[in-house]
Amino acid sequence: MSVAHGIRKLGVLGAGQMGTGIALVAALRAKVPVLVYDRSPEQVTKGLSLMDKLLAKDVAKGRITNEQAKEARDRVTVVSGDLGVRGFRDVDMVVEAVSENLSLKEAIFASFAAELRPDAILATNTSSISITKIAAAAVPDNTNAASEAGKKSAGRVVGLHFFNPVPVMKLVELISALQTTQETLDRARAFAVACGKEVTTSKDVPGFVSNALLMPFINEAIMCLEKGTATREDIDTTLKLGMNHPMGPLQLADFIGLDTCLAIQQTLYEGTRDSKYRPSILLERMVDAGWYGKKSGKGFYEYDTSG
């Protein structure tokens, strides 16, 4: 039996490439009003202009009407900077899409627990961090995690892992923390389906299914480059033409963001202590240098960041 998601208003925290994409599919596909917050106003402006561009392209390609694009855009509201998380007070669900940093996410989920309605679903778009740890942060300090109140607060936390570019990629990975209730899982799944996504489920292990498989593959490609096995172009072309991958692994790493790839690989390595997840020195050095891939203009390739 399908469950109604019951989301009448969504909050999205973080207006980077993932948060913007999530806000867009929620407004356009699930037709849900969306509040967007990012501590950087420049990031919000960038996110909204990307949204406008993507909607205009959908109109130009005849996929949606002008009217539908306008309705979707009108569903998106920006939470003002001084309100912060308090701006999400009346949402039924929030999706956190900030960078891969456990202490940042813990602080955010503690403030969600303090500021949001007690029945609001608290979803994280983390790529690899333990949903169970994030859920534990949603239990107020003065509350026993095993008490009814503690279980209720953590039980509404769930992993909802979207893929980049969100409007194009068809998958959402759904991850249950140890504490997540069945109702939270069912409603989060129904919401992802309403956003036009197929849903797979994964246990709460480092990297879930997706990044536990993808990151060693990307890392191995970086090590090939490091060892001089082949040029960046030949490594990528081998996978693109030999295996029909839409992008080669180095190009994909640049697209995801090298800082994000490194953060995920560190979580995988620390969480499993398995040497197959150890990040390559070259990846670490590139991140040290501030070469984050496409978003910074330089990664394994060079990019124009002017537009």
| DSSP letter string, 153-175 | HHHTEEEEEE-SSTTT--EEEEE
Residue 95's H or E segment, with its range, is strand 93-96
**Does 22 sit near ligand 3HC (CB under 6 A)?**
no
Does the annotation flag 304 for ligand binding? no
Rounded to a whole number of angstroms, the minimum distance from the CB of residue 92 to ligand 3HC is 25
125 included as an active-site residue: no
211 included as an active-site residue: yes
Residue selected from 76, 93, 122, 127 as contacting ligand 3HC according to rule CB under 6 A: 127
**Does 164 sit near ligand 3HC (CB under 6 A)?**
yes
Largest Cα separation within the chain, whole Å, is 57
How far apart are alpha carbons 75 and 32 in whole angstroms? 7
- Which region among 28-36, 129-137, 233-241, 245-253 touches ligand 3HC (by CB under 6 A)? 245-253
Q: Is 141 exposed, middle or buried (0-12, 13-18, 19+ CB in 10 A)?
A: exposed
Please tell me the number of Cα atoms within 13 Å of 74 on its side-chain side.
6
Q: Residues for the chain: how many in total?
A: 307
144 included as an active-site residue: no
Cis peptide before 167 (omega within 30 of 0): no
Does the annotation flag 19 for ligand binding? yes
- Which region among 102-110, 166-174, 268-276, 280-288 touches ligand 3HC (by CB under 6 A)? 166-174
Binding mask 57-86 for ligand 3HC (x = CB under 6 A): x---x-------------------------
127 included as an active-site residue: yes
In sequence order, the β-bridge partners of residue 96 are 13, 124
Binding mask 261-290 for ligand 3HC (x = CB under 6 A): ------------------------------
Closest CA to 257 of 40, 98, 24: 98
Rounded to a whole number of angstroms, the minimum distance from the CB of residue 148 to ligand 3HC is 34
Q: Is 85 within 8 Å of 13 (Cβ atoms)?
A: yes
Does the annotation flag 15 for ligand binding? yes
Task: Enumerate residues 25-54 that contact ligand 3HC by CB under 6 A.
Answer: 54
How far apart are alpha carbons 16 and 42 in whole angstroms? 10
**Does 241 sit near ligand 3HC (CB under 6 A)?**
no
Q: Is 174 within 8 Å of 158 (Cβ atoms)?
A: yes
Does the annotation flag 11 for ligand binding? no
Residues near ligand 3HC (CB under 6 A) are 54, 57, 61, 127, 163-165, 167-169, 210-211, 214, 246-247, 252, 256
Catalytic residues: 127, 161, 173, 211
Q: Which amino acids are annotated as binding site for NAD(+), given as ranges?
A: 14-19, 38, 100, 105, 127, 164, 295
